[in-house]
Structure 1
Amino acid sequence: MNQVAAAVPIAQETRARKDARDDKLFGWMLKACALLVLASLLGAAGATLWGGREAFSTFGFGFLTSGEWNPSDDRYGALVPIFGTLVTSFVALLIAVPVSFGIALYLSEVAPAWLRTPVASAIELLAGIPSIIYGMWGLFIFAPFFADHIKPWLTNYLGNEPDDGKVSWVAEHIPFIGKMFGNDNPFGGSVLTAGIVLAVMIIPFISSVMREVFQTVPTRLKESAYALGSSTWEVAWDIVLPYTRSAVIGGIFLGLGRALGETMAVTFIIGNKMKLSPSLLDPGASIASTIANQFGEAAGLQKSSLMALAFLLFVVTFIVLLIARLMLRRLAHKEGR
């Protein structure tokens, strides 16, 4: 009997050591998974930086400020792709943010219960459509429609090169607006077209984030505001938006990250012209579209320049997404207190 009683603590101690060893092994495995992601991130950044070292060493800081891209003379500059990437992303945000806010506000505050699920499902479906489908839609349907119906109106009423030869009042009094919409390109592919298609692509992402965070607002806050006579707009602007400001900004940054790195859709419709133009109606190029178009046949300094562009895009996108994650974490921490 004494032997049995003595064996029980020994078995328990053995089981405890085994559990501790298994927990430590499991912890190492989880740490390895996390470090693998970090290693992949650093590896991608290091590979593009190493691949673009020849371009950075050859052109120096002038690589960022030069608008020349001439493979025949081995002269390359990143200004045109950087400009195209930033402008198309800005146009996309300018359109997508207010539309996404309206969608999220409607689904969370106004829409009847029977309509919320179908509309939310449709938004999720839009988010899952491959980007090449958006690009084909933009190239074959939206770009011709834009060239025939929208571009003439913009050129005649806002641009400094109208079809009838009479400069519009806007172009006469606000010259930079006239330059933005001045154009003699007959095709629909342009920086503005690419920005609009990007807006359609990122609306599902931004609106989904906004809708989710709007639903986290305590009901008692909104009901109190309604009881005091506030309208739906006042509740949204004074209660819902301030309460979820950080998360809304984080969702916008997530959409911006998607717009910055989009490749196929932009390649189809931006025009892929390596020339800096102040007009949104002129063809242009983005970093992603330049890499997609030229990387297959690039060699030497041209390939290094494309790798340098990839590194710049990686850095910008990483910073945007990092800021978004920090803002979302800040909101989660605030709600948990």
Structure 2
Amino acid sequence: MTRTKERPPPAGEPAAVPDHARHLHQDPGLPDRVFRGVARGGGGLVLAVMLLVGGFLLYRAWQALERAGWSFLTTQSWEPDAGRFGIAAVLIGTVLIALTAIVVAVPLAIGGALYISEYAPPRLRRTLISIVDLMAAVPSVVYGLWGLFFFEGALLPTARWIATYFGWIPLFTVDGADPTDPLAPETVYTSSTLIAGLVVGLMVAPIICSVMREVFSQAPAGEREGAFALGATRWGMIRNVVLPFGKGGMIGGTMLGLGRALGETIAVYLIISPVFEIQWHVLQNGTSSVAALIALRYGEASPFGMSALMAAGLALFLMTLVVNFAASSIVARSRSGASSDA
């Protein structure tokens, strides 16, 4: 094997310096360093507060969880002082109310977001954006009072019609209702999962609509113009460009709305008639939710009953946390938020 010897530099010329990687140091400056520190501190503070809330709930709920064990997830009754308590019924009621709300809210939110971002004239668009944002800021007690004194009475004929013609579906069965008797009382349809879910759905629809509208408006302009240049109609462009681009935002907005629906308290508390048994019939009188249970029993709870309520709150906290983290993960992995150079 032959080795190549480096020739010495000619006389009078400096020796060659070997190549090596240089470390570049860039000073971002004081404003950037301050901003980075504030951003990191804010993120760390949010995480710390979340851990403190979870730790506080776990600490206060430990006495009840230690006594109940795994039966806390399977028991339907709520009698902490008698030793019989669990969240099986209220957890199922919470999920059913939230799912009913999402089934109603998502189509409304998608239609509203598409109209605002794609069809509405600029002047009307600004007005609609303000209205939707104001609807999202209305207190939940206002929705609850509206649902209790107006919406419930207006919805009873519809609930009775659904039970009459679709009662063969187990979900829409109403025990004690007689569809053949036109004079049968409608009280069996009041304070139901359907009414509570519809009211909560109207509450969360503006939130979901705002998220979807922002995502739809960021669809790349180059892809929009390319679709029109290929002869696509406006709906064809929306179907092939806007909706695929905003898929992650649609799913994320839906799950954020679901997290809000799971934790809604006052509106559900005002509308429902609490029952501590699993109620699968969404049209039937009586249901319950974890948040409404806490609001209902907080003032009269004994020390051990308070620990049981804290355990129910811990379960709701973990459930909403999982939903919100899943939404953030889906949005982060989607194309939503990307831009086009065109």
Task: Give the TM-score normalised by the residue count of structure 1.
Answer: 0.82
The CA distance in 2 between the partners of 1:23 and 1:117, in whole Å, is: 34
CA contact (8 A) 2:218 2:337 kept: no
Q: What do you get for the CA RMSD once the two structures are aligned?
A: 2.5
- Give 2:219's aligned amino acid: V
- 1:270-325 deviation per Cα after TM superposition (whole angstroms, max 9, x unaligned): 22222222210221110100001101111133222211110011111111112222
- 1:202-226 deviation per Cα after TM superposition (whole angstroms, max 9, x unaligned): 1101111111111111223223323
Aligned match of 1:240 in 231, 239, 242?
242
Aligned length: 302
Which structure 1 segments of 5+ residues have no match? 1-18, 160-170
- Give 2:283's aligned amino acid: L
- CA change 1:125–1:53 in 2 (3 A) is same
Please state if 1:123 is matched with 2:137: no
Please state if 1:150 is matched with 2:148: no
Please state if 1:176 is matched with 2:178: no
- 1:51-82 deviation per Cα after TM superposition (whole angstroms, max 9, x unaligned): 11122222211111121223563310101111
Which structure 2 segments of 5+ residues have no match? 1-28, 178-186
The CA distance in 2 between the partners of 1:25 and 1:109, in whole Å, is: 40
- 1:4-44 deviation per Cα after TM superposition (whole angstroms, max 9, x unaligned): xxxxxxxxxxxxxxx98x99898767655443332221111
Match of 1:188?
Answer: 190
Match of 1:100?
Answer: 109
- Give 1:138's aligned amino acid: G
The CA distance in 1 between the partners of 2:203 and 2:89, in whole Å, is: 23
Between stretches 65-74 and 296-305, larger displacement belongs to: 65-74
**How far off its partner does 1:256 sit?**
1.0
CA contact (8 A) 1:155 1:182 kept: no
CA contact (8 A) 1:80 1:285 kept: yes
- CA change 1:57–1:72 in 2 (3 A) is closer
Question: Within 5 Å, which residues of 2 pair with 1:20-169?
Answer: 32-71=41-80, 73-147=82-156, 149-159=157-167
CA contact (8 A) 1:67 1:77 kept: yes
CA contact (8 A) 1:271 1:285 kept: yes
Name the one with the larger helix percent: 1
Aligned match of 1:266 in 261, 265, 268?
268
Aligned match of 1:297 in 297, 300, 313?
300
The CA distance in 2 between the partners of 1:308 and 1:218, in whole Å, is: 47
Query: SS where residue 50 of structure 1 aligns?
Result: helix
CA contact (8 A) 1:74 1:301 kept: no
- Give 1:131's aligned amino acid: S
CA contact (8 A) 1:144 1:187 kept: no
The CA distance in 2 between the partners of 1:231 and 1:77, in whole Å, is: 55
- Give 1:298's aligned amino acid: A
Task: Give the TM-score normalised by the residue count of structure 2.
Answer: 0.81
Match of 1:330?
Answer: 333
- Give 2:72's aligned amino acid: F
Query: SS where residue 296 of structure 1 aligns?
Result: coil
Query: SS where residue 257 of structure 1 aligns?
Result: helix
The CA distance in 1 between the partners of 2:226 and 2:339, in whole Å, is: 22
CA contact (8 A) 2:215 2:337 kept: no
- CA change 1:29–1:221 in 2 (3 A) is closer
State percent identity of aligned pairs.
36
The CA distance in 1 between the partners of 2:69 and 2:339, in whole Å, is: 48
Structure number, greater radius of gyration: 2
Match of 1:16?
Answer: none
- CA change 1:29–1:136 in 2 (3 A) is same
- 1:150-204 deviation per Cα after TM superposition (whole angstroms, max 9, x unaligned): 2221221112xxxxxxxxxxx1xxx42443x556443521111111011100110
